């Protein structure tokens, strides 16, 4: 049996994302959210659902009108439900190809990553177009609906590795994945020692061809810890989620 601590035995109630901030006593679902509630779930006037708008709160709402292209609801109650990690985690990653991008965004959302930054690197050949970034943002919403997050993971504009390394700043734990580094447990012990919770965590994951020696040297010169994820060659999204998972577990152990 899987442990309850993984959150796998208690699926979230049916949740819907409201594009506009909920500030009064009414809310309106449009586009895909309205279609799902009205035509897939076949909502009726009087039904209650859970809404969230990315602000950190979630709302119990009652269906008041079901239209062809929208659903109007009244707000029954507001709850400040925080399911975010105490320490914000930024994931800088050279995006993989095709549908693997969406999968990465979904799982990073589930793990609690606060911000995903597409990285421009020397060996990277995948460009984060406006359309691709919009698809990733939609994937974040869908994953947030499923996993219960009330704040959306930010999909940031692409940055060069130099920009990302500089922007991470201190104080905080900063880790970059490369086979030349120390093992993951060693790096976590050094960068995130027990009872010394960092104020923030930043992770950098390279493209399929990896970071160049010059890029790793640059990261070291900025104070980043280089971490080796093991003897097998990992895909971009696997490396990103393996390291993120290890960090999340370490942070949970510190609490």
For the stretch 12-35, pLDDT in tens is 458 999 999 999 999 999 999 999
Dump pLDDT digits (tens) for 31-90.
Answer: 999 999 999 999 999 999 999 999 999 999 999 999 989 999 999 999 999 999 999 999
Dihedral sign from CA coordinates of 100, 8, 230, 164: positive
Confirm whether 4-80 and 89-254 share one CATH topology.
no
Report residue 225's pLDDT band, with 50, 70 and 90 as the boundaries: very high
What is the chain's mean pLDDT, rounded?
91
Minimum mean pLDDT among 4-13, 22-31, 144-153, 154-163: which range?
4-13
Q: Which of 176, 98, 80, 168 is nearest to 139 (CA)?
A: 98
139 φ/ψ sector (left φ>0, alpha ψ -120 to 50, else beta): alpha
For 4-80, CATH number? 2.40.240.20
Looking at 3.40.50.920, 2.60.120.10, 3.40.1280.10, 1.20.200.10, the CATH number of the domain 89-254 comes to 3.40.1280.10
Tokens 């810890």 label which residue? 225
Q: Centre a 10 Å sphere on the Cβ of residue 61 and count the other Cβ atoms it contains.
A: 26
Contact by Cβ (8 Å): 36, 16: yes
Q: How far is CA 178 from the centre of its chain?
A: 22
How far, in Å, CA of 4 to CA of 26, rounded? 35
Could you state, in order of their start, the residue ranges of all structural domains in the chain? 4-80, 89-254
Please list the alpha-helical segments (H only) found in 148-235. 161-168, 184-191, 213-221
Dump pLDDT digits (tens) for 102-119.
Answer: 999 999 999 999 999 999
């Amino acid at each position: 049996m899987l442990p309850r601590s993984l959150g796998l035995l208690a699926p979230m109630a049916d949740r819907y994302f409201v594009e506009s901030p909920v500030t009064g006593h009414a809310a309106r679902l449009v586009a895909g959210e309205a279609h799902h509630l009205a035509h897939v779930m076949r909502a009726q006037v009087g039904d209650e659902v859970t809404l969230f708008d990315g602000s950190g709160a979630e709302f119990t709402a009652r269906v008041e009108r079901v239209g062809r292209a929208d659903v109007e609801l009244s707000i029954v109650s507001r709850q400040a439900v925080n399911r975010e990690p105490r320490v914000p985690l930024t994931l800088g990653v050279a995006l993989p190809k095709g549908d693997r991008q969406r999968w990465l965004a979904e799982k990073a959302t589930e793990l609690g990553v606060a911000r995903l930054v597409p990285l421009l690197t020397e060996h990277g050949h995948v460009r984060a177009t406006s359309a691709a970034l919009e698809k990733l943002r939609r994937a974040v919403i869908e994953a947030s609906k499923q996993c219960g997050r009330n704040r959306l993971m930010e999909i940031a504009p692409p940055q060069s590795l130099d920009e990302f390394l500089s922007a991470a700043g201190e104080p905080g734990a900063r880790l970059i994945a490369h086979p030349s580094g120390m093992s993951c447990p060693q790096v976590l012990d050094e960068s995130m020692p027990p009872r010394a919770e960092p104020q923030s965590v930043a992770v950098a994951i390279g493209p399929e061809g990896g970071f160049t020696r010059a890029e790793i040297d640059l990261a070291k010169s900025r104070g980043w810890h280089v971490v080796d994820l093991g003897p097998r060659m990992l895909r971009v999204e696997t490396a990103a989620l393996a390291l993120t998972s290890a960090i999340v577990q370490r942070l949970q152990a510190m609490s």
